[in-house]
Structure 1
Amino acid sequence: MPANSKHLTHSWLQRFAKISAGFLGGYFVMISLHLAIAAWFDRATIMITMAYSGFMLWVTLFILAFLFRNGWKVWGIYLFLTLVFSSVLYLGKVYHQPII
């Protein structure tokens, strides 16, 4: 049974925004989150765990991008989350520098 056409995205630009936000934006959020956690906790354990939890988070973020009506809003949310996690990463590197 085909999908109801009223639920499909008609604009190719919105479709591209959702696909690219899900693929690239979800990847950026996933990587920045795991690097931020690794800056504050045991780096080796987090990086090993990232092989599994990272893929699950990336797929979840990819699917979530299609639940929004506006693809640019998804890009904004994902870029904001990436900026927040990158700030946490920066603070973790500043406060957890080894003393030589």
Structure 2
Amino acid sequence: MPANPKYLTTSKWQRFAKISAAILGGYLVSVSIHLSLAAWLDRATVLITGSYTIFLLWTALMILSFLAKNGWKLWGLYLIVILICGIAIYIGQSLYPLTS
């Protein structure tokens, strides 16, 4: 049974924004969240379990990105989350430097 056309995105730019946010943006958000957790928590544990949880979070973000009405607002939200995680990584590395 085909989808009802009134629910489909007609703009090619919106379609591009949603697909790129699903694939690239979801992956970048997943990795940045896990890297910020690794900066504050036990690095080895987060990196080992991250191989599984990154995939699960990425899949969830892929599904959620196609539920959004506007792909560009979604990209903006993803960039804000990545920026916040980047700040958390910087502060975490400053407070808890990696010692060898």
* TM-score with structure 2 setting the length: 0.95
Q: Following TM superposition, by how much is the alpha carbon of 1:97 offset from its aligned partner in structure 2, in angstroms?
A: 1.9
Distance in 2, matches of 1:55 and 1:5, equals 31
Cα RMSD for the two superposed structures: 1.4
Distance in 1, matches of 2:58 and 2:98, equals 32
Counterparts in 2 of 1:1-80, with a 5 A limit? 1-80=1-80
Give the 3 Å change call, closer, same or farther, for CA 98–33 of structure 1 in structure 2.
Answer: closer
Give the 3 Å change call, closer, same or farther, for CA 7–91 of structure 1 in structure 2.
Answer: same
Gap runs ≥5 in structure 1? none
Percent identical residues = 53
Q: How many aligned positions are there?
A: 100
Give the 3 Å change call, closer, same or farther, for CA 99–58 of structure 1 in structure 2.
Answer: closer
Asked if 1:97 corresponds to 2:97, the answer is yes
Give the 3 Å change call, closer, same or farther, for CA 98–23 of structure 1 in structure 2.
Answer: closer
The ranges of structure 1 where at least 4 consecutive aligned residues each deviate by more than 3 angstroms after the TM superposition are none
Give the 3 Å change call, closer, same or farther, for CA 78–98 of structure 1 in structure 2.
Answer: closer
* Residue matched to 2:85: 85
Gap runs ≥5 in structure 2? none
